[in-house]
Chains A and B, each alone.
Chain A
Amino acid sequence: MTAAPRMRALGAVAALAVLPWLTGNAFLQHMMVLWAIYALLALSLNIIVGYLGELSFGHAAFFGIGAYTSALLSMQWGVPVWLGPFLGAIVAGAFGLVIGFVALRIVGPQFAILTLGFGAILHTITNYWVDLTRGPMGISNIPPFSLGPIALDFAQARNMYYVALVFLLGVAYVCHALMTSRRGRAFIAVRENPALAASIGIDVFATKLHGFVVATAIAGAGGALYGHYLRVITPELMSLQYVAALIIMVIVGGKGTIVGPLIGALVYVSLLEMLRAAGPLRLVVFAALLTACVIFLPGGLVSLWRRLRERRLAPEPAGASA
């Protein structure tokens, strides 16, 4: 990393750190927590969609697995809540390993359909295994994270924000480190041309499986954060609605970048609240946004900024600032 981007990254972290102190409004702080968790999830899906170049329609299932794992472990076996995100990540990653091992043999639209099938099966099982998951009723009264005697629930949204932010920044750093590493370049090679990547000695299947497991594990950690914060989870977390929400965040923000999914999550969370009064029309707006981005702005919102900057720097040779 050269000096300028590092300064920019540090500036962004500092801005995110002071953000909750700019308002005393508990609701806005609650939105910030939701943003951090959704951004984490969007970053994880971005590894599959943006870096590996495959479309997964089953990602919400891993989010749900993380949430259920952590909630059940803490409630039934008294496992400390702080271990939840890590255990959620391990279990979701294990499911990701098995499902990825099976599904990644197929590519393209068939892979999307296959992940849709796996996601739907996990959703169905969660819905009907009432003895374990309490079925459509969901699980409520999940213990929150706590700092000594202080429980980090809605009333402590500002502190919970920092917990979520630490995870988010950790994941963003992992994504950055991954993509500047040899393995990250292998991801891009596999996305752009699998046959060529294989010819220069990259194990295409192992590379994809690596990315898929990392992505599903992160989604699991995000699920655990979500469950312990909202304290209620239902099988709906695994439904197509959440799959679509995650895809919208990644595509609208800009796939294949780190800032993109963060912006996508911000757009999603803020529109969700601003349009609450609009009722069903709200989801129509999201759908229109997704379609408009796919057709007119394939690089997502981040590409707007890049486009503007390139226009300004037009006299310079292309790629000089990259």
Chain B
Amino acid sequence: MDSDVFAQLVVFTQQVANGLANGMGYVLIAVGLTLVFGVLRIVNFAHGEFYMLGAYFTYYVTALAGIDYLGALVLATLAVAAIGIVANQFFFRPLRKEHEFTILLSSLGLALLMANGAEYVFGADPKYVPTRYADETLEIGPVVVTQQRVLVIAVAFAMIAATYWFIRHTRMGKMMQATAQNPEGAQLTGINTGFVHAYTFAFACGLAALSGALVGPTAMLTHTVGDWAVLKGFIVVVMGGLGSVTGALFGGILLGVAESLGGGYVSLGFKDAIGYAIIILVLLWRPQGLFSAGSGRR
């Protein structure tokens, strides 16, 4: 075999591996976004800010409190989930009966509040989340992946599997499904939909924070990272179909790999535009998403 072709194949596989790690980070963001849309009917523009908080909390817990990275990951996830309960209580619960337009604006307000509040509290200088896995690598033949990326992929897959199982087989998961399908019907059967809403929202925020804690160390951390995260989440959710967990999984992997390959072979500068081009095509061609049978058009 020609060594040139082999080298190109290695580069290609390397790009796909890196894209897979980024993509799994997107999946964690998007699953929360899609759950919040499915159960609460909220398009949450502030979702990326919980990713940002997850990354910052991990930074402070490891760098300042000196707790191990994996412990910090868990602490950050739980803390942000708790903040999610508060955010839902003040920004979304009072607007439950309002037009979707009003709710979207409220979430925009929350996003601006959190992003700018983060600049005020955490400062504008970029931070680097320390992790002992960033410098260690895993070699699979000629392909080299940092252990941090392997960790992202493994934890994200485990978490998505757990979420899937949770929604299908637990009492709470079934209550979430019922609330998503028919809120009034769910209330009639005795489900406290307010509690289900709060639970779902907190769960989604926790997933976003976990993504921030995992992916945060692979890049520079600033207070504007939430904008980036929510845009990626939107792209994935639109690709997979609003409200579909499976769609979010495939959409996230597809976006991560497409960006990685586009950045490697076309142009690094336009890497971010690939995602937007994808959502424009998807919304026009299949507004309900690539992986969803439901209707997205009203």
Interface size class of B (residues with CB under 8 A): 35 or more
Stretch from B103-111, B192-200, B204-212 at the A interface: B103-111
Stretch from A68-76, A226-234, A257-265, A288-296 at the B interface: A288-296
Do A240 and B227 touch (CB < 8 A)? yes
* A128 interfacial contact with B, CB 8 Å: yes
- Nearest CB in chain B: distance from A143 CB, A: 29
Residue in chain A with minimal CB distance to B223:
A280
Q: Point out the residues of chain B lying under 8 angstroms from A118, CB to CB.
A: 276, 280
Do B100 and A108 touch (CB < 8 A)? yes
Do B297 and A280 touch (CB < 8 A)? no
Measured CA separation A279–B120 after assembly (Å): 8
Partner of A284, one of B100, B116, B227, B234: B116
Residue of A118, A128, A244, A284 most packed against chain B (CB within 10 A): A284
Do B283 and A106 touch (CB < 8 A)? yes
Partner of B112, one of A53, A127, A279, A287: A287
Do B296 and A294 touch (CB < 8 A)? no
Do B284 and A109 touch (CB < 8 A)? no
Do B272 and A244 touch (CB < 8 A)? no
B273-298 contacts to A (CB < 8 Å): 273, 276-277, 279-280, 283-284, 287, 296-298
Q: Point out the residues of chain B lying under 8 angstroms from A240, CB to CB.
A: 227
Chain A binding surface, main DSSP class: helix
A120-B231, A280-B120 given; A113·B238 CB < 8 A: yes
Do A110 and B227 touch (CB < 8 A)? no
Give the A-B contact count at a CB cut-off of 8 A. 110
* A102 interfacial contact with B, CB 8 Å: yes
In this complex, how many residues of chain A approach chain B with their Cβ under 8 Å: the count is: 38
Measured CA separation A105–B242 after assembly (Å): 17
A and B contact pairs by CB, cutoff 8 A, 24 listed = A55-B101, A55-B105, A102-B280, A105-B284, A106-B287, A109-B100, A113-B43, A113-B234, A113-B279, A117-B279, A120-B276, A128-B269, A128-B270, A240-B227, A244-B112, A247-B105, A279-B120, A281-B116, A284-B120, A286-B112, A287-B110, A287-B116, A291-B113, A294-B106
Binding site for A on B (CB under 8 A): 43, 91, 94-95, 100-102, 104-106, 108-113, 116-117, 119-120, 124, 227, 231, 234-235, 238, 242, 267, 269-270, 272-273, 276-277, 279-280, 283-284, 287, 296-298
Sample of 15 further A-B pairs with CB below 8 A, known A112-B43, A120-B276, A291-B109: A55-B101, A102-B284, A106-B283, A108-B100, A114-B279, A117-B276, A117-B280, A281-B116, A283-B116, A284-B113, A284-B117, A290-B108, A295-B91, A295-B95, A298-B102
